[in-house]
Amino acid sequence: MQSRYFLLFLISTFSSAAPAPPLSEYATRTISTEGALFATSLLAGYSPSEAKSTESANINITLAPGQDSNSNGDPSLDFLQIPNPQPIRGTLGASDPGPHNSAYDQQNPDALARPSTDEGSVQQSKWPMGLSSNRMTEAGWAREQSVRVLPAAKEMAGVDMRLEPYAYRELHWHSANEWGIVLNGSVRISAIDAQGRTFIDDVSEGDLWYFPSGLPHSIQALENGSEFLLVFDDGNFSEDETFLITEWFSHTPREVLAKNFAVPMAAFDKIPKDQLYIFNGTPPVQSVSANNVTGPSGSIPAAETFSYHFSQQEPMEVPGGSVKIVDSGTFSASKNIAAALVTIKPGAMRELHWHPNSDEWNFFIAGRARITVFDAPNSARTFDYTAGDVGYILVDQGHYIENIGDEDVVLLEMLKAPQFEDVSLGQWMALTPPQVVQVR
């Protein structure tokens, strides 16, 4: 399986990256600013006849390595140790007395002091899950990213969800296809298909599932609880618009429910008035097979299973990191979502490339990275990412992913496609006749 991707996927070393020096080695600069303050006594506006008063201030700022006028090559800037980052890169920019949010500036140095190679207009390609409204219950929480907060992300959306030990995500189904990966802990997932065949499996950190739209399923955390990431193939998807069994019950006359299930109406006296969504549960039986309920149609055959133990797939080691790829070729149920789990070592980068068959939805699991997105004919914009951030790059847009920190970058690259495909700029040039690519 690995050889089919080898020429299409390269992570290379990038020797100029290095851990940030201690704060004592950072350059400092003092800038004097002059500003005029004036107003009428009635605050009615400025009149030339009014006397003016002036006020001067000294701004003590600290510059990061590579930010001064002697820098070149637009290196990545580390503002994490800078208490008051400034929009300065080389001879460009000026001091910012405020107001500003230094915490945002520290995390987004390439937005505050953008590289000189950035130009034009590129869509917003970053959304921190930390800015998503977190829907909380007594047994867990969920926060989402959709086109509502990241307008460019029309093809895919994501949900970060946490279940306490033995908590349930209640019986439900969606109008979009659901791809899930366990970030920590373990869960028991179950489903039935339209033929009445049943499915149940335990999946742990690094494992996947895929539930087609309309397929009813449930998720229960096991003894240590679990956090997992869900990706949907519709940018307009909202977790709040899920089809929930408790909501359906609450909006159906009890007489109809009694007829449907052939039980007395009293059986539905305790139907919740509101959806359960995420709720506390009890420990399941240890044996998955003993927990499975089957009917005349039996169980889902192994070749059509809705889970994939991605954690057991060996990564492909490449210069500067590793990669694991899963798509319909390895996980047959995942017919239109493909993924790469990418690890990039400090000082390395995911090479310049683009995806010809899909937009790319990214989720950063660990580390700090920057991506420059290139769009035709002459636009480029650089974004900075850390754990918990979502990235989104449109189909055919050129980009790279560079590790700018001192720990591994781990991220998911998601495509809305049956196969994971990319085109390497380096490979393309290497396989083109030399006289075509020769610099003249």
Catalytic positions, please?
413
Going through 355-429 in order, the beta strands assigned E by DSSP cover 360-366, 368-375, 379-386, 389-393, 398-403, 409-415, 423-424
Q: DSSP string of 102-145?
A: HHHHHH-HHHHS--TT-BS-----EEEGGGS--EEETTEEEEEE
Q: How far is CA 353 from CA 324, 372, 399, in A?
A: 17, 11, 6
Cα 236 to Cα 250: distance, rounded to the nearest angstrom:
26
Cα 69 to Cα 84: distance, rounded to the nearest angstrom:
19
Cα 354 to Cα 363: distance, rounded to the nearest angstrom:
17
Q: What is the dihedral of CA 111, 231, 241, 261, to 10 degrees?
A: -170
Instruction: Name the token pair of 362.
Output: 């990214």
Q: DSSP string of 27-79?
A: EEEEEEEEEEE---TT-----TTS--EEEEEEEEEEEPTT-STT--S------
Terminal Cα distance for the chain, rounded = 40
21 preceded by cis ω (within 30°)?
A: no
Altogether, the residues listed in the chain come to a count of: 440
Cα 334 to Cα 143: distance, rounded to the nearest angstrom:
24
- 3-class state of residue 295 by DSSP: coil
Q: What one-character DSSP code corresponds to residue 157?
A: E
- Give yes or no for a contact between 261 and 267, defined as CB atoms under 8 angstroms apart: yes
- Residues 6 or more apart in contact with residue 138 via CB below 8 angstroms: 279, 280
